[in-house]
Structure 1
Amino acid sequence: MSDHVRIYEVGPRDGLQNEDMLIPAERKVALIDLLSQAGFEKIEATSFVSPKWVPQLADAEAVLAGITRKPGTDYAALTPNMKGYERALAAGVDEVAVFASASEGFSRKNINCSIAESLVRFAPLLDAAKSDGVPVRGYVSCVIACPYDGPVASEAVRDVAQALFDMGCYEVSLGDTIGAGTPESVATMLETVLPRLPAERLAGHFHDTRDNALDNVMAALALGLRVFDSAVGGLGGCPYAPGAKGNLATGPLVALLEQSGFSTGIDREALAKAEQYLRSITASA
């Protein structure tokens, strides 16, 4: 396995969509531009969902039109359906993402359908993306536990992740949506998934509800994962997961990885500037 770890910065989308504040588009653009200067290979910039459900990201087109695109950085957007995909394509995204759940209760609360129905809905989008040459990333929520159904079987995580991979997702991010994971439960889940999906096609997405996120990263690293999602400043919880603390903060993740001997390619001074700017805009929002 490589000593390089790719950090997938999700703050501008997964972070800001779960904050109460409404940040103007120009400030989101400035934040993304600062993150670009920090050297991220992937930045999840926004989401093409109905403004009715996610008003924080109603300005998706304006944000993508305003950013300064840095060579070597891909700018992604979440696209829950064909309408969202078509909007994202017109806005010039580099890749899109779809999201499913390993928990029936969370799937129904989050996207108002069963797991099986969600996968059927994604099929036309994935077919279109393949024809258009647009990479698709898959997310699986509630890989450890669900706020509605309780503990989630690792076999359910495996089956949904494999379904997304088989449909054409180049990578599947496994999300501990409510931050219930421990190194032991994360290892158990991954040991169930890995016989079906190779480690190089998986990412870890850990929330820090119980201050276990960094320990969970270490458990996943030991099993071969080399991609992790994080949010600048630890932005974001989950509107459909009561009590969920924010995403794993990018700064501590970079520090842990580099102290552990991995390379990230992240300029920590540039990241600190992005964090400082984030504090300034959230304080005034």
Structure 2
Amino acid sequence: MSDLPSDAELEEITGSAAPAQAEVALGECLLSEALLAEAPVPAEAKLALIKAIAGAGFRRIGITNLLDPERHAQFADAEVVLRGATRRPGLILQAQCPDLLAVRRALVAQDGGWGPDEVVFSITATEADESWSHLTEMVALARGQFTLCGIVGAAFDEVTEPATVLAAAERLAELGITRIAIADGSGVATPPRVRDLIGWLHGGLPTASFAARFADRRGTAIANTLAAIEAGLTQADTALGGAGGFCATEDLAAALEAMGLGTGLDPAALRRAGRAAEQALGRSLHSRVLRLDEAASPA
């Protein structure tokens, strides 16, 4: 017996049924962000995970983070991972770029023929002008060289108004950033607030491509992501097993499948990738789908 919500329960969670024929593209963030909370993983294991994740059918994979390697050992092998990562038509490889040095490293990798397809910049919705000035420098260096993606953090904090999030998204769009993830890192969002904010964003910036990015710190990531999809989003960022506090990729994919929404992912290959992630990290993660598989297997 599955403990995944039924179609009727999913309707109740989100407030109404999601569009019947929608397709939702999931972006995998385990290797670019969730590893910040983990002990370093060997580059060989990361490359094997990228291959497994790509084999499950993902279109977008965050494969590394160009944080200072002296301060963040989890990503000290970023160039090795970029060089060795699986590449194929239609697969977008992302790298996080937190500062100007990171952008320069991405450009060096590109000059060598093994750079990322996309670079990702982060800003909180209430960030000061000085941070925006730094971001503007980074974007100017990267513009025309990579596809640019942005993350608006703290989008659902109590002090953050929808108009403030919209203003941040508009500033990103003015900088030429084409894909904008709306993030709830603290897990305080609720489905009604999600639907309200997505409405603001669609109304104020209809040409932008938005993605849902919800932490599961209060067990609400799937409900909030489904609310965002019901409000019109067709992209979501997740991490295998819910690593790093993200919404668990396997569980969201299973919920979407139960609703008749395609993700383009192979469920069996996705579960194999989830188990490979657990093996690489040396511990069980938080995917209910994987735990149900274990419970259903003969002892």
TM tier, shorter chain? 0.7 to 0.9
Q: Which moved more, 1:257-266 or 1:195-204?
A: 195-204
- Mapped contact 1:200–1:224 kept (Cα < 8 A): no
- Mapped contact 1:199–1:225 kept (Cα < 8 A): no
State the one-letter code of the partner of 1:25. A
Which residue does the alignment assign to 1:124? 137
Q: State the shift of 1:195 in Å.
A: 1.6
Q: Which moved more, 1:183-192 or 1:215-224?
A: 183-192
- Label 1:39 to 1:275 Cα distance change in 2 as closer, same or farther (>3 A): same
Q: Distance in 1 between matches of 2:136 and 2:151?
A: 15
State the one-letter code of the partner of 1:195. G
- Mapped contact 2:63–2:95 kept (Cα < 8 A): yes
State the one-letter code of the partner of 1:117. E
Q: Give structure 1 stretches of 5+ with no counterpart.
A: 105-113, 237-245
* Residues 1:141 and 2:159 are matched in the alignment: no
**TM-score (norm: length of structure 1):** 0.86
State the one-letter code of the partner of 1:131. G
Which residue does the alignment assign to 1:239? none
Matches within 5 A, 1:269-284: 269-283=268-282
Report the secondary structure of 1:16's partner residue. Answer: helix
Displaced runs of 4 or more, over 3 A: none
Q: Give structure 2 stretches of 5+ with no counterpart.
A: 1-18, 110-114, 284-299
- Mapped contact 2:211–2:236 kept (Cα < 8 A): yes
- Mapped contact 1:9–1:44 kept (Cα < 8 A): yes
Q: Distance in 2 between matches of 1:269 and 1:224?
A: 28
Q: What is the identity percentage for the equivalent residue pairs of Structure 1 and Structure 2?
A: 33
Larger Rg: 2
Which residue does the alignment assign to 1:206? 214
State the one-letter code of the partner of 2:155. V
State the one-letter code of the partner of 1:225. L
Report the secondary structure of 1:151's partner residue. Answer: coil
Which residue does the alignment assign to 1:167? 175
* Residues 1:7 and 2:26 are matched in the alignment: yes
Pick from 230, 237, 260 the counterpart of residue 238 of structure 2: 230
Q: RMSD in angstroms over aligned alpha carbons?
A: 1.8
State the one-letter code of the partner of 1:97. V
- Mapped contact 2:180–2:208 kept (Cα < 8 A): no
- Mapped contact 2:121–2:151 kept (Cα < 8 A): yes
- Mapped contact 1:102–1:142 kept (Cα < 8 A): yes
Report the secondary structure of 1:194's partner residue. Answer: helix
Q: Distance in 2 between matches of 1:27 and 1:126?
A: 31
Report the secondary structure of 2:204's partner residue. Answer: coil
Q: Distance in 2 between matches of 1:125 and 1:53?
A: 20
Q: Distance in 1 between matches of 2:251 and 2:75?
A: 26
Residue by residue over 1:53-96, the C-alpha shift from the partner in whole angstroms, topping out at 9 and shown as x without a partner, is 43211110011112221222111001122321121133211110
Q: Distance in 1 between matches of 2:267 and 2:88?
A: 17
Q: State the shift of 1:199 in Å.
A: 7.4
Pick from 73, 90, 94 the counterpart of residue 117 of structure 2: 94
Pick from 45, 50, 55 the counterpart of residue 27 of structure 1: 45
- Label 1:225 to 1:200 Cα distance change in 2 as closer, same or farther (>3 A): farther
> Number of matched residues?
260
